[in-house]
Structure 1
Amino acid sequence: MGTYLFLIIPILLISMYVQWKFRSKFSKYTEMRLTSGFSGKEVAEKMLHDSGIYDVRVMSADGQLSDHYNPAEKTVNLSTDVYHGRSVAAAAVAAHECGHAVQHATAYHWLQLRTSMVPLVSISSTLLQWVLILGVLLIGFTGNPFVLSIGVIGLALLTIFSIITLPVEIDASKRALAWLRNTHGVMITPEENVQAKDALFWAAMTYLVAALGSLANLIYYASMLFGRNKY
């Protein structure tokens, strides 16, 4: 347990800081109206068309920070604030999600790998908590490691998925910022581009701490499985 706390407490503290920083940055940049006056929807459609993509729809999605690209349905789904918003944050998020659409159109290998893992990861994440609880109880009372072994395999899968997500998200942001910069002030000014880069940097950091947290959990349960932790 001591080893686990040594791993997880710093990660939790860093995660709390990153989440606070991420939300404060987006709150700040949401208040900054784009000089060009374009909405997130308009930014997204412009980036898609400039990239030669005409079979992807830009849609409004319920929720806050619910923005995502759906490769199966070929839709860029923007939260209401981003879809209608005319701020630096809206432009950054809209362009970032379109970065995923460009990845899809260009067969970006990390996105392909991540997408292929989604069905299995969805099943694993739904059942994993109960499998781990049952596994810990069984190994504690009977010494049988079978169920916990399944849980560790599931955790390993989620950890790999989290790690693969990192280059996918970072690359999407790079594509977004490059496109925004190459509009030469039509969509976003150089100063606003710097602000968009700052916002997307902190968004990427949330994926990094999520991957670290998943890795810490994997180490803990794997060490329990192999009898290296006292529980």
Structure 2
Amino acid sequence: MPYLYGFDTGFLLFFIPAMILAMYAQFKVQNTFAKYLKVPNRKGYTGVEVARYILDANGLNDVRIERIPGALTDHYDPSKRVLRLSEPVYSQPSIASISVAAHESGHAVQHQHGYFPLIARNALVPIVNFSAQFTWILIILGLIMSSGSLINAGIILFSAAVLFQIITLPVEFNASHRALAMLSQSGIISDDERPKARAVLSAAALTYVAAAAVSIAQLLRLLLIRGDRD
């Protein structure tokens, strides 16, 4: 039953637990990153040095590396073939810095190899951007006008965002797997540093799991609300 004693049960059953997971994931990644940002890697490599090494070792000499402001704002831009590293990751010789840099470099390697989930996710970006603008307009208008068609259209658009979050999971997990393998095989990290790098990458991966959970929870909530309108 979508509503119970005036409460949105979908919000209570799905959305609140997912948001709790998301808050925990954010807390976890921030604390793990901060912890290992203080732990220097034994060879003294900075994030930009590790990123450049991995890119060049994979024939990606043409991929530029840029420094950007903020923390945990690191990303690879496939359209411009640019790897952007936040200030702490770019310049500090820590376990956290080289782990994040290697992860983002993993996305560039995925792009080079035509990794299908990455291609699929990139293809969904324009649709997700469009849905972000109109999903809630359609749903709110549908609720106000009691129009099932408008609500359905909003749910379909929102489903594209959910699919994007789901496809993001293998993309991020694979990038982390590549990162850990490249760091180990190249000798950038030692065997006893490997669990520390894995801790950083695992904490970051949890944020994507949480984001997918929030999207799925919101979709289930909308489906419950739509069912109540039939």
TM-score, scaled relative to structure 1: 0.92
Question: How many angstroms apart in 1 are the aligned matches of 2:92 and 2:209?
Answer: 27
Question: How many angstroms apart in 2 are the aligned matches of 1:133 and 1:73?
Answer: 37
Partner of 1:56: 63
Q: Cα distance, 1:101 vs. partner?
A: 0.3
Partner of 2:220: 219
Q: Residue 162 of structure 2 is aligned with which of 130, 150, 159? A: 159
Question: How many angstroms apart in 2 are the aligned matches of 1:32 and 1:220?
Answer: 43
- Unaligned segments of structure 1, at least 5 residues: none
Partner of 1:171: 174
Q: Which runs of 4+ in 1 moved over 4 A?
A: none
Secondary structure (helix, strand or coil) at the match of 1:91 reads helix
User: Which amino acid counterpart does residue 96 of structure 1 have in structure 2?
Assistant: H
Secondary structure (helix, strand or coil) at the match of 1:171 reads helix
Q: Deviations over 1:140-191 (max 9, x none)?
A: xxxx12221121011111000000000000000000000001022xx22222
CA shift in 2, pair 1:201/1:228, >3 Å: farther
- Unaligned segments of structure 2, at least 5 residues: 1-7
Matched residue count: 223
Contact kept in structure 1, 2:39 and 2:95, CA below 8 Å: yes
Question: How many angstroms apart in 2 are the aligned matches of 1:202 and 1:219?
Answer: 26
Q: Cα distance, 1:125 vs. partner?
A: 1.4
Partner of 2:4: none
User: Which amino acid counterpart does residue 179 of structure 2 have in structure 1?
Assistant: A
Contact kept in structure 1, 2:117 and 2:171, CA below 8 Å: yes
Secondary structure (helix, strand or coil) at the match of 1:148 reads helix
Check if 1:182 corresponds to 2:158: no
Secondary structure (helix, strand or coil) at the match of 2:160 reads helix
Secondary structure (helix, strand or coil) at the match of 1:132 reads helix
> Quick one: percent identity of the two aligned structures?
38
Check if 1:148 corresponds to 2:151: yes
Q: Cα distance, 1:228 vs. partner?
A: 6.8
CA shift in 2, pair 1:179/1:3, >3 Å: same
TM-score, scaled relative to structure 2: 0.92
Check if 1:75 corresponds to 2:82: yes
Question: How many angstroms apart in 2 are the aligned matches of 1:34 and 1:228?
Answer: 58
Q: Cα distance, 1:223 vs. partner?
A: 2.1
Question: How many angstroms apart in 1 are the aligned matches of 2:9 and 2:120?
Answer: 35
